[in-house]
């Protein structure tokens, strides 16, 4: 089975949130955390972020120049990136997070025990605990639909083909073609994010952006959580040897015995 | 043009985890130093060695309970060790939360063997078998080997918590390689301080042993000071959340001044307080414990506040 994934062309996203609604309907996710979020006052965004119950999140980025005579409104439907080298999968201690036959990253809800290591590990802020289920949750790339030969709910609902689904190779070819088209039209900042191996071995949900990744709240150079582990471990081992040495030096001291008599041990 | 900030989500490792890190450091550090004292110390240190073994096992149990309580699905805690669905063990040497779970499990087992040994040796259980077991743990080569294994597990358990937070994508935690060494040194220091507190509490007149523990703690506190400076240096401008507001006050006054510099002064110049050396030592040990707890508060909470 070849790798499947999303190609999201943010330049044609209209912020309709059909993807969010379709995701919630198919995956039976509640509307809000007890309706406590309310209005954020942040453009048209009242979801705030991806979470345990929001596996799709449409971002609205309003940009103005200083005198506000020029404006630009960027939109982007955010989702789990299904990284080829996934930090969440790397750290998960229970084996709940697995790679599927479609090369996507899936959390088994019946195995997860809610330790939240994956939340800390994800550089994109994708995973959270579902408040009712008590397990880590995120986009499954509609694993159940894929197993039955169907397109993920969000991609099917998207009215502008901003979210496209298919074989990763084909998606990348399509994205490169569109990038060239945009660049020819003068979109000099247009770029592909995660469409090659440079970001975490490649993102199986990658983006065509019209500006730098940071503008969309995406890290420019996300890393695996284990990147410091060898160095950190080596320093900790040195500290352990230092502790042993300090103990040996201190415990062999004899000088203070005479200052106050010791009671013999029992 | 304005731009959005890059964000991650916080794992909400709050007070239960802070206490777990704190007590785990004490348990591992106390067992490690008790074993070192057993082999490198003097015959009169033996009751102090026993104190280390007395404290390690109950705290390891407490650590397990804190971890389980922190899970959002506490009844599935065994999934940390066993892959019931796929079969086999759940073990990833490259994931600190995975090898840390195994460290806790194995350290709990070994510290239990030592705990029962000192209980038997102290005749707290009036049983000939317990007494024989206690003597076997102390005198036999196998008992010594168990203690060495426990010491290795203990020191690893004290330090792995720093590796755990460093192996994330969270701001600050993932930006310095110092946390493992820092938590290890702090764990050993608080383990030594706990042994001093217990020594005072049980009114054991073992001044020479107490001085040895305090001397070892002086080395650890100096190392901790250096590591805190290195941590701030490696973080650079990213250290701002640790140095400003209430967390800045806790770090500078609580951790560095009260938790490290004052105890060092009390150890080196006990007369400062116009109290006896024993009283100064007890106050210093209490301050070291306070500093150890505050260190974990200051390291764990501010980065998560940034990302929540």
In whole angstroms, give the CA distance from residue A137 to residue B73.
Answer: 13
Closest Cβ–Cβ partner in B95, B180, B220 for A91: B95
CA distance B40 to chain A (A): 6
In whole angstroms, give the CA distance from residue B265 to residue B260.
Answer: 9
pLDDT at B183 over 70: yes
Beta bridge partners of A42: A45
**Mean pLDDT of all residues belonging to chain B:** 93
In whole angstroms, give the CA distance from residue B26 to residue B295.
Answer: 13
B227-258 pLDDT, tens digit per residue, is: 999 999 999 999 999 999 999 999 999 999 99
ipTM of the complex: 0.94
CB contact under 8 A, B179 and A232: yes
A62 chain-B contacts, CB cut-off 8 A: 2
Q: Which residues contact A112 (CB under 8 A, 6 or more apart)?
A: A94, A96, A97, A135, A136, B73, B76, B79
Q: Which residues contact A124 (CB under 8 A, 6 or more apart)?
A: A50, A80, A81, A218, A219, A222, B8
Q: How many helices (H) and strands (E) does chain A have?
A: 7, 10
**Mutation for testing the B interface, residue in A136, A247, A253, A257 having most B CBs under 10 Å:** A247
Average pLDDT estimate for B126-144:
91
Beta bridge partners of A203: A83
B38: confidence class by pLDDT, cuts 50, 70, 90: very high
Q: What is the DSSP string of B155-224?
A: HHHHHHHHHHHHSSS-TTGGG-S-HHHHHHHHHHHHHHHHHHHHHHHTT---HHHHHHHHHHHHHHHHHH
B88 chain-A contacts, CB cut-off 8 A: none
Q: Are A211 and A11 in contact (CB under 8 A)?
A: no
CA distance B69 to chain A (A): 10
In the prediction, which pLDDT does B303 show?
A: 93
> Helix (H, G, I), strand (E, B), or coil: what is residue B248?
helix
Cβ–Cβ contact A59 with B under 8 A: yes
Cβ–Cβ contact A97 with B under 8 A: no
In the prediction, which pLDDT does A37 show?
A: 62
B84 chain-A contacts, CB cut-off 8 A: 111
Q: Which of B65, B51, B142, B73 is nearest to B104 (CA)?
A: B65
Closest Cβ–Cβ partner in A65, A93, A247 for B97: A93
Q: In angstroms, how far is the first alpha carbon of chain A from the final one? A: 70
Residue-wise burial string across A7-20, b where 16 or more C-beta atoms lie within 10 A, e elsewhere: bbbbbebebbbbbb
Q: Are B24 and B55 in contact (CB under 8 A)?
A: no
CA distance B100 to chain A (A): 10
The structure tokens listed for B5 are 């900030």
In the prediction, which pLDDT does B124 show?
A: 75
B274-308 pLDDT, tens digit per residue, is: 777 778 899 999 999 999 999 999 999 999 998 75
In whole angstroms, give the CA distance from residue B50 to residue A260.
Answer: 21
pLDDT in tens, chain A (266 residues): 689 999 999 999 999 999 999 999 999 998 765 555 677 888 899 888 899 999 999 999 999 999 999 999 999 999 999 999 999 999 999 999 999 999 999 999 999 999 999 999 999 999 999 988 999 999 999 999 999 999 999 999 999 999 999 999 999 999 999 999 999 999 999 999 999 999 999 999 999 999 999 999 999 999 999 999 999 999 999 999 999 999 999 998 775 544 444 444 44
Beta bridge partners of A58: A77
In whole angstroms, give the CA distance from residue A15 to residue A75.
Answer: 6
CA distance B135 to chain A (A): 13
In whole angstroms, give the CA distance from residue B207 to residue B213.
Answer: 10
pTM: 0.93
B79-109 pLDDT, tens digit per residue, is: 999 999 999 999 999 999 999 999 999 999 9
Q: Are A104 and A143 in contact (CB under 8 A)?
A: yes
Closest Cβ–Cβ partner in B47, B83, B159 for A95: B83
Q: How many CB atoms lie under 10 A from the CB of residue A184?
A: 8
Identify the closest residue of chain B to A263 by CA–CA distance: B205
Beta strands in A168-240 (DSSP E): 191-193, 205-209
DSSP label at residue B252: I
B4-35 pLDDT, tens digit per residue, is: 354 799 999 999 999 999 999 999 999 999 99
The structure tokens listed for B122 are 């102290």
Q: What is the largest CA-CA distance in chain A?
A: 90
Identify the closest residue of chain B to A228 by CA–CA distance: B177
Cβ–Cβ contact B9 with A under 8 A: yes
In whole angstroms, give the CA distance from residue B285 to residue B220.
Answer: 13
Closest Cβ–Cβ partner in A120, A238, A262 for B208: A262
Cβ–Cβ contact A40 with B under 8 A: no
């Amino acid at each position: 089975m070849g790798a499947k994934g999303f190609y999201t062309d943010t330049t044609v996203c209209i912020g309709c949130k059909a993807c969010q609604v379709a995701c919630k309907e198919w995956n039976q996710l509640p509307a809000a955390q007890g309706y406590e979020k309310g209005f954020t006052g942040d453009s048209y965004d009242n979801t705030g972020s991806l979470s345990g119950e929001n596996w799709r999140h449409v971002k609205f980025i309003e940009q103005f120049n200083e005198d506000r005579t020029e404006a630009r409104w960027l939109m982007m439907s955010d989702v789990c990136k299904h990284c080829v080298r996934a930090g969440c999968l790397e750290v998960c201690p229970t084996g709940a997070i697995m790679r599927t036959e479609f090369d996507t990253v899936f959390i088994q809800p019946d195995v997860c025990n809610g330790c939240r290591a994956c939340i800390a590990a994800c550089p994109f802020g994708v995973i959270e605990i579902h408040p009712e289920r008590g397990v880590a949750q995120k986009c499954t790339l509609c694993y159940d639909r894929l197993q039955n030969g169907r397109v993920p709910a969000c991609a099917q609902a998207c009215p502008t083909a901003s979210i496209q689904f298919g074989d990763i190779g084909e998606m990348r070819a399509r994205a490169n073609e569109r990038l060239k088209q945009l660049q020819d039209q003068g979109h000099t900042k247009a770029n592909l994010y995660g469409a090659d191996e440079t970001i975490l071995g490649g993102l199986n949900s990658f983006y065509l952006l019209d500006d730098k990744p940071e503008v969309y709240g995406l890290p420019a150079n996300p890393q695996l959580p284990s990147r410091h582990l060898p160095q950190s471990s080596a320093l900790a081992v040195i500290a352990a040897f230092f502790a042993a040495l300090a103990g040996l030096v201190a415990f062999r001291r004899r000088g203070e015995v005479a200052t106050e008599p010791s009671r013999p041990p029992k | 043009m304005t731009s959005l900030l890059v964000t991650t989500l916080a794992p909400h490792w709050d007070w239960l985890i802070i206490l777990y890190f704190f007590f785990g450091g004490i348990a591992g550090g106390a067992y490690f130093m008790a074993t070192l004292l057993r082999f490198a110390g003097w015959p009169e240190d033996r009751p102090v060695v026993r104190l280390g073994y007395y404290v390690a096992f109950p705290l390891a149990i407490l650590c397990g309970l804190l971890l389980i309580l922190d899970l959002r699905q506490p009844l599935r805690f065994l999934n940390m060790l066993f892959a019931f669905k796929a079969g086999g063990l759940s073990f990833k040497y490259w994931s600190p939360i995975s090898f840390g779970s195994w460290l806790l499990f194995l350290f709990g087992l070994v510290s239990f063997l030592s705990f029962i040994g000192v209980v038997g040796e102290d005749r707290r259980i009036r049983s000939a078998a317990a007494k024989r077991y206690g003597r076997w743990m102390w005198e036999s080569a196998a008992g010594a080997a168990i203690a060495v294994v426990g010491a290795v597990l203990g020191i690893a358990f004290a330090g792995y918590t720093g590796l755990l937070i460093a192996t994330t994508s969270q701001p600050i935690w993932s930006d310095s390689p110092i946390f493992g060494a820092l938590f290890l040194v702090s764990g050993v220091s608080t383990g030594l301080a706990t042994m001093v507190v217990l020594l005072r509490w049980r009114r054991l007149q073992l001044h020479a042993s107490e001085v040895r523990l305090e001397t070892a703690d002086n080395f650890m506190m100096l190392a901790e000071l250096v590591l805190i400076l290195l941590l701030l240096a490696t973080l650079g401008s990213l250290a701002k959340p640790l140095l400003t507001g209430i967390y800045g006050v806790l770090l500078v006054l609580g951790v560095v001044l009260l938790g490290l510099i004052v105890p060092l002064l009390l150890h080196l110049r006990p007369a400062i307080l116009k109290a006896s050396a024993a009283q100064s030592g007890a106050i210093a040990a209490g301050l070291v414990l306070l500093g150890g707890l505050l260190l974990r508060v200051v390291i764990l909470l501010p980065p998560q506040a940034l990302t929540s």
